[in-house]
Amino acid sequence: MFHPDYEIVIGLEVHCELKTKSKIYCGCTTEFGGEPNTHCCPICTGMPGTLPVINEKVVEYAIRAGLATDCQIAAFSKQDRKNYFYPDLPKAYQISQYDLPICYEGKVDIEVNGENKTIRLTRIHIEEDAGKLLHEAGEGTLADYNRCGVPLIEIVSEPDMRSQEEARAFLEKLRSILMFVDVSDCKMNEGSLRCDVNLSVRKKGQKEYGVRAEIKNMNSFSFAVKAMEYEAKRQIKVLEEGGKIIQETRRWDQDKGVTVSMRSKEEAHDYRYFPDPDLMPIVTSKERVDQIKASLPELPDSRKVRYMEQYGLSSYDATMFLISPRMANFFEVAAENSANPKTVANWIMGEIFRLLNEEEKEAAVIPFEPEMLSKLVNLIEKGAISNSVGKKVFEEMWNTGTDPEKIVEEKGYKQVSDEGQLTQIAEQVLANNPKIVEDYRSGKEKAFQSLVGQMMKATKGQANPKVVTDLLVKILSE
């Protein structure tokens, strides 16, 4: 789709809000929303004379995220002030980490089109979120500092991705990991996961990287993918026309479908970092790291392998269930309680995913318990109901949350396998359809299927298809 002579180079900076109860340096709540400036205190609004103290959970969560992505954990880490003037930051600096981040040198494995690839992580550091600016039609800009001081980790990748598909796979994988290790809700619509994209292009075979543009603050994976596609095409076009790429910050305009240059930030990049004198260094012992490592749950990569080996799932299906811990849990419980986990997987992939949008899939908004799906599959497996009746039962489970066994019982859905009972019905059906019977006798194979269909209709889909087939063959050959 792009120019065949060019290669795209992508690196990502992912900001992830941690799910602590209180902010990073004060006791204000991290709860989303709230009336403007009601989740604030003198510390998070940067009043003079206040003393920030770091939340211990922030350090623990950052280390969890680091261990889950194969990072080294810094024995000695410190916090620095990043200075710039922008009213979303009441102190005129953001507390972040400069040269000694809490985690460094990690990796995330991704799979794109059946191929595996490792994306290296440069670092993960701790920082505080900024406030929200409300750009009203009036004269001023209004500042709401409720988000100010909400803890973040910034995960920085190496420029290892070569397509927007790889970038998307990386983002999805990272998100899944962060959710499984329970350090963040990763709610895109609340901005708790967002990324900056660094993208450049170069001629294939060229060693040096091209000049890159940074696309800021993408809070949707699909917008990020669109922005990357557009930006790569734009840069290639500029170069092909003999122009030069300028290193700059751009933003994605979703309505117009283009990236737009933001005011030149050359000077703003002079952040004059220095160690924050109010905050003491963070020293992490090997024992502490081991302790946190031991508390990690099974990670998505290992689960995926297990789903494939234990339940016979395809790589694709396994990945789909790892969209969130809730979804994975639903699948696992349903699979464990059923006679056929593969069939359970098919029901989820087919019926359940058809009825849910992305957000609902992730939250596993399913109106019945996983054990009920196991029961439904078991009813079909042991021949108590047919597959087509199974669909009806499923529909009712979905609409009312009723136990499938109860639905089958109450609606009299039990599959009819009794030969005597079916023989009576078959004789009736044959008597009512002399033309079809004649067609069949004169060699029209299709006529037979039509008779089976009539049988199913006469039994409201409850006849056992295998028994019906055998029975019809027998009667018709008499």
Partner 1 sequence: MKISREQIEHVANLARLNLTEEEKQRFTTDMEAIITFADQLNELDIKEIEPTAHVIPIQNVFRKDEAKPSFDRDALLANAPSKADGCFSVPKVVE
Q: Does 230 bind partner 1 (CB under 8 A)?
A: no
Residue among 57 and 342 whose Cβ is closer to partner 1 = 57
Two structure tokens written together for 362:
């992730």
**Shortest Cβ 390–Zn ion spacing (Å):** 55
Q: Is the dihedral of CA 196, 107, 191, 253 positive or negative?
A: positive
Size of the site for partner 1 (CB under 8 A): 57
Residue of the chain from 144, 154, 317, 396 that contacts partner 1 (CB under 8 A): 144
Residue of the chain from 57, 107, 342, 391 that contacts partner 1 (CB under 8 A): 57
Residue among 33 and 420 whose Cβ is closer to Zn ion = 33
Contact 102, 59 (CB under 8 A): yes
Helices 465-476 and 434-441 pack at an angle, to 10 degrees, of: 70
Q: Which residues, 6+ apart, have CB-to-CB distance to 122 below 8 Å?
A: 104, 105, 156, 157, 158
Q: Which residues, 6+ apart, have CB-to-CB distance to 94 below 8 Å?
A: 81, 82, 84, 127, 128, 130
Residue among 279 and 356 whose Cβ is closer to partner 1 = 279
CA distances from 251 to 155, 235, 360 (A): 20, 15, 29
CA distances from 141 to 133, 190, 201, 252, 358 (A): 7, 21, 37, 22, 34
Two structure tokens written together for 219:
């809070």
Q: Does 76 bind partner 1 (CB under 8 A)?
A: yes
Q: Does 152 bind Zn ion (CB under 5 A)?
A: no
**Shortest Cβ 37–partner 1 spacing (Å):** 5
Q: How far apart are CA 268 and CA 92, in angstroms?
A: 12
Contact 131, 148 (CB under 8 A): yes
Residue among 83 and 433 whose Cβ is closer to partner 1 = 83
Q: Does 143 bind partner 1 (CB under 8 A)?
A: yes
Q: Does 46 bind Zn ion (CB under 5 A)?
A: no
Q: Which of residues 148-177 bind partner 1 (CB under 8 A)?
A: none
Q: Does 78 bind partner 1 (CB under 8 A)?
A: yes
Stretch that binds Zn ion, among 37-45, 156-164, 184-192, 363-371 (CB under 5 A): 37-45
Partner whose footprint covers residue 133, from partner 1, Zn ion, none (CB < 5 to 8 Å by kind): partner 1
Residue of the chain from 281, 297, 367, 383 that contacts partner 1 (CB under 8 A): 281
Q: How far apart are CA 296 and CA 120, in angstroms?
A: 21
**Shortest Cβ 89–Zn ion spacing (Å):** 14
- Kindly report the number of other CB atoms within 10 A of residue 404's CB atom: 26
Two structure tokens written together for 241:
């026309």
Q: Does 90 bind partner 1 (CB under 8 A)?
A: yes
Contact 157, 121 (CB under 8 A): yes
Q: Does 218 bind partner 1 (CB under 8 A)?
A: no
Name the 3-class secondary structure at 201.
strand
Contact 115, 9 (CB under 8 A): no
Two structure tokens written together for 93:
């600096």
Stretch that binds partner 1, among 180-188, 275-283, 320-328, 381-389 (CB under 8 A): 275-283
Q: Does 21 bind partner 1 (CB under 8 A)?
A: yes
Name the residue type at position 313. L
Residue of the chain from 41, 262, 333, 356 that contacts Zn ion (CB under 5 A): 41
Q: How far apart are CA 312 and CA 122, in angstroms?
A: 36
Contact 69, 183 (CB under 8 A): no
**Shortest Cβ 47–partner 1 spacing (Å):** 8
Q: How far apart are CA 303 and CA 68, in angstroms?
A: 13
Residue of the chain from 18, 44, 130, 313 that contacts Zn ion (CB under 5 A): 44
Q: Does 274 bind partner 1 (CB under 8 A)?
A: no
Partner whose footprint covers residue 135, from partner 1, Zn ion, none (CB < 5 to 8 Å by kind): partner 1
Q: Does 96 bind partner 1 (CB under 8 A)?
A: no
**Shortest Cβ 55–Zn ion spacing (Å):** 11
Residue of the chain from 26, 63, 313, 373 that contacts Zn ion (CB under 5 A): 26
**Shortest Cβ 97–partner 1 spacing (Å):** 11
Contact 60, 182 (CB under 8 A): no
- Kindly report the number of other CB atoms within 10 A of residue 316's CB atom: 10
Stretch that binds partner 1, among 132-140, 230-238, 335-343, 446-454 (CB under 8 A): 132-140
Residue among 37 and 450 whose Cβ is closer to Zn ion = 37
Q: Does 135 bind partner 1 (CB under 8 A)?
A: yes
Q: DSSP alpha helices (H): ranges in 285-368?
A: 286-294, 300-311, 315-321, 325-336, 341-347, 353-355, 358-363
Residue of the chain from 245, 258, 262, 452 that contacts partner 1 (CB under 8 A): 262
Q: How far apart are CA 185 and CA 198, in angstroms?
A: 25
Binding site for partner 1 (CB under 8 A): 20-22, 25-30, 35-42, 45, 53-59, 76, 78, 83, 85-87, 90, 100, 133-135, 138-145, 251, 262-263, 267, 270, 272, 275, 277, 279-283
Binding site for Zn ion (CB under 5 A): 26, 28, 41, 43-44
